């Protein structure tokens, strides 16, 4: 029985199904993040701060800090001198 379960868990098909399931769960519980690129005037929407951070090439805490600054001080800081962030 243990060998059978190990072989199922190790399969690429099982790994792919698990990855898709986790992505779906993360989409449901994450807050959408709008990223506005001031150089191209395009807005992109991501399902989480981590995805947005990965897309623009920074760490997710930078996105969260920019959102906190916007909420507390009303100042929308540019990230990497290019991106404006809005969460939620």
Q: What is the pLDDT of residue 17?
A: 86
Number of domains in the chain: 2
Which residue range forms the structural domain that includes residue 12? Answer: 1-29
Is 51 found in the same domain as 22?
no
Residue 16: the pLDDT is: 86
Same domain (yes/no): 15, 40: no
Q: Note whether 12 and 1 are within 8 A (CB).
A: no
pTM above 0.75, yes or no: no
Instruction: Find out whether 36 and 83 touch, Cβ atoms under 8 Å.
Output: yes
Are 22 and 60 within one domain?
no
Read off the tokens for 56.
């623009």
- The model's pLDDT over 9-64, given as tens digits with 9 standing for 90+, comes to 677 787 888 888 887 887 777 789 999 999 999 999 998 888 999 999 999 999 99
What does the pLDDT read at residue 85?
Answer: 92
- Return the higher-pLDDT residue of 82 and 10: 82
């Amino acid at each position: 029985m243990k060998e059978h379960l190990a072989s199922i868990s190790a399969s690429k098909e099982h790994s792919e199904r698990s990855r898709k399931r986790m992505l779906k769960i993360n989409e449901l519980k994450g807050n959408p993040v709008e990223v506005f690129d001031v150089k191209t005037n395009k807005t992109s929407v991501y399902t989480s701060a981590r995805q947005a951070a990965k897309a623009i090439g920074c760490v997710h805490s930078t996105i969260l800090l920019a959102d906190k600054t916007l909420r507390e001080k009303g100042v929308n800081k540019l990230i990497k001198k290019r991106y404006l962030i809005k969460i939620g």
